[in-house]
Amino acid sequence: DGGITQSPKYLFRKEGQNVTLSCEQNLNHDAMYWYRQDPGQGLRLIYYSQIVNDFQKGDIAEGYSVSREKKESFPLTVTSAQKNPTAFYLCASSFPGLAGSIEQFFGPGTRLTVL
């Protein structure tokens, strides 16, 4: 089955530690995205990548980093510089170059809690 997987589902980290969230897709999509979700604020874009080895900052990139070495993988690192990292993180992918198929497909999410 095609889809997006995120791991782990729940993640706990101590203050001052970096942590990496995994996102893998087997949809052959070119574009991938990371969002942060907080109650009452909807989804805010952290980083996005339109092709392999290229990515751009979204609206709230400070304290986060990403890489896109493979088409199917787009890991997100939450660094110790992120002031308030406790949130629900969603990964998505899309094929924006295909007419009629621009929608984003979402993974199940990772809930990060800083202790």
Partner 1 sequence: AQSVTQLDSQVPVFEEAPVELRCNYSSSVSVYLFWYVQYPNQGLQLLLKYLSGSTLVKGINGFEAEFNKSQTSFHLRKPSVHISDTAEYFCAVSETDSWGKFQFGAGTQVVVTP
Contact between residue 21 and residue 110 where contact means Cβ atoms under 8 Å apart: yes
Contact between residue 44 and residue 60 where contact means Cβ atoms under 8 Å apart: yes
CB-wise, 81 or 102, nearer to partner 1?
A: 102
Q: Which stretch binds partner 1 (CB under 8 A): 19-27, 31-39, 63-71, 79-87?
A: 31-39
Distance CA 22, CA 5 (A): 8
Contact between residue 63 and residue 82 where contact means Cβ atoms under 8 Å apart: yes
Q: Which of 43, 52, 60, 61 binds partner 1 (CB under 8 A)?
A: 43
Q: Is 39 exposed, middle or buried (0-12, 13-18, 19+ CB in 10 A)?
A: exposed
Determine the size of the site formed for partner 1 (CB under 8 A).
27
Does residue 8 interact with partner 1 by CB under 8 A?
no
Does residue 111 interact with partner 1 by CB under 8 A?
yes
Does residue 2 interact with partner 1 by CB under 8 A?
no
CA-closest candidate to residue 52, choices 93, 22, 89: 93
Annotate each residue in 68-87 with x if it binds partner 1 (CB under 8 A) or - if it does not, as one string: --------------------
Does residue 1 interact with partner 1 by CB under 8 A?
no
